[in-house]
């Protein structure tokens, strides 16, 4: 079982408009509502691939109930810790005319230490069933970087691989507890190492420095240039074929799903990177965030070029 953690889950609302105008009434051409938050965008691709997935985190009110219900068609089991306050919504406005995306991200509820202690007790039980734990995204108000430190420690004490995918101070503090894997972007790896990372050799040097601190896998997204991964097996770079990208939002989360799948199956790093790259690229070909079609992924898989550096 893959256990995903989304501490700041949301309803993701996507509005499609023709010519977004500030200060005026905008008619929505079409809209979609999906359970969101980075952890849930890991849950969905992992489940589509065929893994048993349990999603945990915090959920509250009618919005929280909707998030849980909306995960059922994916075959994802919800194991959220419930609070009285309402879960947040995040709005993505896509302007078809100007090809511009505008986002409104609600802050969500505020948690207390009592809330988090209750969640920790539930989390300890869930971890006992897991083969891999992937925790992703921001944290609600009332929590700080120590939240991920505490959760990573619980997973490590259970002897289970843990992926931490967050940013800023949360990543800086979370990495102190040495998760199994992180996936920083270029800015984040600069922050963590103080290195300039102006070319591929400097990026590799920075990723190796983090790996030498105990993080077993350091995966770095290179955008259109693919990605690279540094681990005990060596250093590998992945290049993906040219695709017709429709929606790249959440593709990094789909890549995390691929790494979680690889870790759960005991695949070597090279094959894990290939799988993660294929799932991420397949997700970019579909409009819905955190979604891919197996047929797309299976076509892309043999086209992923992996080079040992």
Token output for 108: 């969500």
Q: Is the dihedral of CA 39, 216, 187, 143 positive or negative?
A: positive
DSSP bridge partners of 228? 220, 237
Closest alpha carbon to 40 in 263, 256, 281 = 256
Coil vs helix vs strand at 70: helix
Using the 8-state DSSP alphabet, how is residue 176 labeled?
G
Token output for 63: 């919005």
Query: What is the rounded CA–CA span in Å between residue 171 and residue 192?
Result: 9
Helix axes 145-157 and 113-127, enclosed angle (nearest 10): 30
> Which residues have CB under 8 Å from 26's CB, separation 6+?
17, 20, 93
Token output for 149: 């430190």
Token output for 137: 């995204």
The residue annotated as part of the active site, out of 12, 115, 165, 253, is: 253
Beta strands in 137-296 (DSSP E): 162-165, 181-182, 217-221, 227-231, 234-239
Residue environment code for 80-91, b if the CB has 16+ CB neighbours within 10 A, otherwise e = bbbbebebbbbb
Using the 8-state DSSP alphabet, how is residue 98 labeled?
T
Using the 8-state DSSP alphabet, how is residue 110 labeled?
B
Q: What angle do CA 300, 304, 307 make, to 5 degrees?
A: 175
Q: What angle do CA 154, 139, 265 make, to 5 degrees?
A: 50
12 is catalytic: no
Q: Which residues are catalytic?
A: 253
């Amino acid at each position: 079982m893959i256990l995903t953690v989304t501490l700041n889950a949301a309803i993701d609302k996507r509005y499609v408009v023709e010519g977004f105008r500030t200060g005026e009434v905008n008619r929505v051409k079409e809209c979609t509502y999906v359970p969101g938050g980075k952890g849930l965008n890991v849950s969905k691709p992992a489940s589509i691939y065929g893994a048993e997935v349990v999603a945990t985190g915090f959920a509250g009110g009618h919005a929280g109930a909707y998030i849980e219900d909306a995960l059922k068609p994916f075959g994802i089991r919800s194991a959220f810790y419930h609070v009285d306050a309402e879960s947040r919504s995040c709005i993505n406005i896509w302007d078809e005319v100007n090809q511009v995306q505008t986002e409104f991200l609600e802050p969500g509820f505020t948690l207390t230490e009592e809330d988090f202690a209750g969640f920790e007790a539930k989390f300890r039980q869930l971890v006992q069933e897991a083969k891999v734990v992937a925790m992703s995204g921001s944290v609600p108000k009332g929590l700080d970087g120590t939240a991920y430190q505490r959760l990573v420690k619980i997973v490590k004490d259970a002897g289970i691989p843990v992926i931490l995918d967050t940013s800023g101070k949360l990543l800086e503090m979370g990495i102190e507890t040495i998760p199994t894997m992180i996936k920083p972007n270029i800015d984040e790896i600069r922050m963590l190492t103080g290195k300039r990372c102006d070319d591929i050799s400097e990026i590799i040097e920075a990723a190796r420095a983090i790996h030498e601190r105990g993080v077993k896998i350091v995966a770095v997204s290179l955008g259109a240039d693919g990605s690279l991964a540094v681990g005990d097996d060596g250093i590998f770079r992945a290049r993906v074929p040219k695709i017709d990208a429709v929606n790249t939002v959440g593709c990094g989360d789909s890549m995390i799903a691929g790494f979680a799948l690889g870790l759960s199956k005991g695949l070597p790093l090279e094959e894990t990177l290939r799988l993660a790259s294929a799932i991420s690229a397949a997700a970019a070909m579909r409009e819905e965030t955190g979604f891919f079609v197996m047929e797309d992924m299976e076509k892309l898989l043999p086209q992923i070029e992996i080079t040992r550096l």
